[in-house]
Every structure is written in C-alpha cells, then in structure tokens.
Amino acid sequence: MLNYASNLLSRGKDSEGLEILFRIFNGDYPKEDRFDAGVNIMAYYYNRGDFKSCAKFSKNLEGLGESDLFYYLKTLCALGIGDTAGARESIKLGFLKFPHRPEIRELYERLSSIQAK
C-alpha cells in the first residue's frame, strides 16, 4: 500500500495518496509501516515547501523508528522554518546513527561549520 500511495502522489493524485498514507500512519499497522508512511508524509510536505507542517509532523514519528531519510528531512524542514538549533540537533543524531551516509555527513559538516563561526 505504501508503494501504491507513493505512485498516486507521483501522478499528481495527492488527496488519494495522502489519504492512504495517513490511513497507514494512524492505523493498526506494524510500527515500521507506520514510520515509513510518516516519512512519506514528511517528504510530501517538504517537496511542496510546507516546512512548518513537515517539522511539526516529524514529532509524530519520534519513537516509531529512525532512518537516514527521516533525519535528513527533519533537518531540512527545521532549517526551512529557521530553527537552526533544532536542525543541528537532528543532524547530529542522524550523523551518530548513520555516519556512512554521504548526504548526512555533508549536512552535518555544513551545519557544524556554521555553528563554529
């Protein structure tokens, strides 16, 4: 169902795709599926420039799981709303858990260098 929802979103059928993602996220599904649906919802908000909704929604995912994409999106959305402290905290956690991911490492290094100035 996650793939189907993503396909709907990519075809411009936003309301249908989001409805499925929210149904999975709020439903009685395994924690991993709920987390994946939530990350897809965050990505939807991010891709439309709705950083406030993305950052707010990211709080719903804490405790459900973690992934490099989650920390990356959470950081970018925090930056989008001007929360540099939250962005630094998020990318630091992401870097500690996923240091091998180049996009995580790059964003961590950029935010660390800004902090040092």
Q: Summarize pLDDT for 14-48 with one digit per residue, the tens.
A: 999 999 999 999 999 999 999 999 999 999 999 99
Look up residue 86 and give its DSSP letter. H
Among 29, 48, 65, identify where a domain stops.
65
CB 42 within 8 A of CB 54: yes
Residue 117, pLDDT > 80, answer no
Considering the domain architecture, whether residues 3 and 45 belong to the same structural domain is answered as: yes
Considering the domain architecture, whether residues 2 and 23 belong to the same structural domain is answered as: yes
Question: Domain tally for the chain?
Answer: 2
Task: Print the domain residue range for 3.
Answer: 1-65
Considering the domain architecture, whether residues 74 and 93 belong to the same structural domain is answered as: yes
How far is residue 24's CA from residue 18's CA, in Å, rounded to a whole number? 10
Considering the domain architecture, whether residues 5 and 53 belong to the same structural domain is answered as: yes
CB 88 within 8 A of CB 111: yes
The model's confidence at residue 72, banded by pLDDT at 50, 70 and 90, is very high
Considering the domain architecture, whether residues 9 and 41 belong to the same structural domain is answered as: yes
Mean pLDDT, residues 67-85: 95
Considering the domain architecture, whether residues 87 and 61 belong to the same structural domain is answered as: no
